[in-house]
A and B are shown apart, each in its own frame.
Chain A
Amino acid sequence: MATVPGQLIWEMVKKNNSFLVKQFGRGTASLRFSKESNNLYNLNSYKHSGLANKKTVSIQAAGKDQAVVLATSKTKKQNKPAALFHKSVMKKEFRRMAKAVENQVEGNYYRPDLKKAALARLSAVHRSLKVAKSGVKKSKRQALKIRV
């Protein structure tokens, strides 16, 4: 398959695709999010899109607690969706994971422009896993409930 270039795909996909979420933002739903798994900011934009780029990075929570899956897509296997992703499950402490992510994304010049996004997402996922594990804490300063 001649790799149809990302620009072309983006033009077709940006307005309308099954991952597009047009919900929030004042007025006519101006914030566009994207539910693809390999979109780091979940923003519907060319740079972050998992559909239009050959090289994508995705960071998701894995099934077991505290484990995070880092997946990068391989450029040569664009038309083999099953074999497309290079998945690795990480269960180390946060600093080590951050180092690993940074190396994968920027160290080998894979997608240096996504480094910040990848690290940000890592922290977000990691934190959510911690919260999920220990239960959502109620703040002690919660306003007193007025009981009738």
Chain B
Amino acid sequence: MAAAARPLVSVQPLPASLNDMVTDHVTTVALPDVMKASIRPDIVNFVHSNISKNSRQPYAVSKKAGHQTSAESWGTGRAVSRIPRVSGGGTHRAGQGAFGNMCRGGRMFAPTKTWRRWHRKVNVNQKRYAVVSAIAASSIPSLVMARGHRVESVPEMPLVISDSAESIEKTSTAIKVLKEIGAYPDAEKAKDSQAIRPGKGKMRNRRYISRKGPLIVYGTEGAKLVKAFRNIPGVDVANVERLNLLKLAPGGHLGRFVIWTKSAIEKLDSIYGSFEKCSEKKQGYVLPRSKMVNADLARIINSDEVQSVVKPIKKEIKRASLKKNPLKNLNVMLKLNPYAKTARRMALLAEAERVKSKKEKLDKKRKPVSKEELAAAKAAGKAWYKTMISDSDYTEFENFTKWLGVSQ
């Protein structure tokens, strides 16, 4: 279920000059499963914003404020507004408005009450999820750097130092240790960043601000290192059994730089369990499952299993072609209706025929008629006249002989 076999984290040894104990040679610890848990900035943000409300102290306005007058409204008819006014006389205060949020010296709108819901309840499982996420995020250098810690010279993430650190008593040795393991730049950053807070917080007991440095997590109860490290600016100390989300993800942002001692890291497994095994300290608690066990999209996409089933890339892009009108464009018409070609050809030929024959006719008509044809046409006309007369019945009547002219 866990993504891979548990890799080993080497424990940074502390130089023997700092303490009398024998330095252990470089040992390794298996990475606890907590560090592989899914990282959920949304959950961490939610839980953090709710948890940080829990240490608030109530504030409220005095409940009597603005009401310690016996003001009454003057009513209408006195050319003043109808706001209740302070009764009596002989002082500036007499006749001034009272009681309203708009009045000078009146009470505010919706006076703040102490019974406002200051604290928030968060589900235990969500709180645990958030802590687990924060621990996991602290082991990824990118996230820790993104949060702003100077970890470029840290030899390994997560940073584990040997247990001999737990018995450090002097702050000066503590600083030396930090320098040895490459954590000093971060602490230095915190020290350099101490400044006076801008704004009114200055006069409200929040005068100084600074960045956060490394968080040292130790395993054994009552370790001396608490006193040694706590005075270094920016450095926080915590026991593994009592890890605080507000320290692991300050500001709701994942990725605090955490320095573990060897016993602390070894305890993590028993405190949080693994993905399958229940935790020993938290009853019935199992590490949260991630939605995707292997979230490396690039590798999944390029893997053999996927690539062997995937169609090849379409390199040529089919673009929408311009629509052409088939009624105007012959080729497009032909694509739609091949017969159109012959039809059009026939039409053209027929048209040519028609034009030709009409032309011939007209030409013939326009051509001046020759004398023989003219004579022939006239003779034909006369002959026809004659036949018409002889055919008709009018020749029998004598009256008509005069204008019928040539008869028989």
Q: In the docked arrangement, what's the CA distance between A51 and B253, Å? A: 16
A-contacting residues, B129-167, CB 8 Å: 139-143, 145-148, 151-158
Q: In the docked arrangement, what's the CA distance between A84 and B254, Å? A: 22
**Contacts A2-B3, A7-B298; A80 near B143 (Cβ below 8 A):** no
Q: Chain A CB within 10 Å — which of B4, B145, B155, B298 has the most? A: B145
CB pair A5–B295 under 8 Å, yes or no, is yes
Determine the chain B residues whose CB is within 8 A of the CB of A9 once the complex forms. 140, 142-143, 146
Interface string of A57-74 (1 = CB under 8 A from B): 000000000000000000
CB pair B140–A1 under 8 Å, yes or no, is yes
Q: In the docked arrangement, what's the CA distance between A3 and B297, Å? A: 12
Q: In the docked arrangement, what's the CA distance between A80 and B141, Å? A: 8
B-contacting residues, A110-137, CB 8 Å: none
Q: In the docked arrangement, what's the CA distance between A79 and B145, Å? A: 12
CB pair B4–A82 under 8 Å, yes or no, is no
B-contacting residues, A30-86, CB 8 Å: 36, 51-52, 78-84
Q: Report A28 CB to chain B, min CB distance, Å.
A: 22
Q: Closest residue of chain A to B31, judged by CB?
A: A1
Q: Chain A CB within 10 Å — which of B41, B296, B297 has the most? A: B296
Q: Chain A CB within 10 Å — which of B151, B155, B295 has the most? A: B295
Determine the chain B residues whose CB is within 8 A of the CB of A18 once the complex forms. 145-148
**Contacts A16-B253, A80-B156, A83-B155; A4 near B298 (Cβ below 8 A):** no
Determine the chain B residues whose CB is within 8 A of the CB of A4 once the complex forms. 39, 140, 295
Q: In the docked arrangement, what's the CA distance between A82 and B299, Å? A: 26
* Partner of A81 from B4, B7, B157 at Cβ < 8 Å: B157
B-contacting residues, A1-20, CB 8 Å: 1-9, 12-13, 16-19
Q: In the docked arrangement, what's the CA distance between A8 and B291, Å? A: 12
Q: In the docked arrangement, what's the CA distance between A120 and B141, Å? A: 28
Q: Does B35 contact A (CB under 8 A)?
A: yes
Q: Does B182 contact A (CB under 8 A)?
A: yes
Q: In the docked arrangement, what's the CA distance between A82 and B140, Å? A: 13
Q: In the docked arrangement, what's the CA distance between A110 and B36, Å? A: 28
Q: Report A60 CB to chain B, min CB distance, Å.
A: 13
Determine the chain B residues whose CB is within 8 A of the CB of A52 once the complex forms. 142
CB pair B146–A82 under 8 Å, yes or no, is no
Determine the chain B residues whose CB is within 8 A of the CB of A2 once the complex forms. 3-4, 7, 36
CB pair B155–A80 under 8 Å, yes or no, is yes
Q: Closest residue of chain A to B3, judged by CB?
A: A2
15 of the cross-chain contacts (CB-CB < 8 Å) are A2-B4, A5-B295, A7-B296, A8-B39, A9-B143, A12-B41, A12-B143, A12-B146, A13-B146, A16-B253, A52-B142, A80-B157, A82-B153, A82-B155, A82-B156
- Extra pairs beyond A5-B297, A12-B143, A51-B146 (13, CB < 8 Å): A1-B139, A5-B296, A5-B298, A7-B297, A12-B41, A12-B146, A12-B254, A13-B146, A78-B141, A79-B157, A81-B151, A81-B155, A82-B152
When A and B form their complex, which 3 residue pairs have the shortest distance between CB atoms, in order from nearest? A18-B148, A5-B296, A17-B146
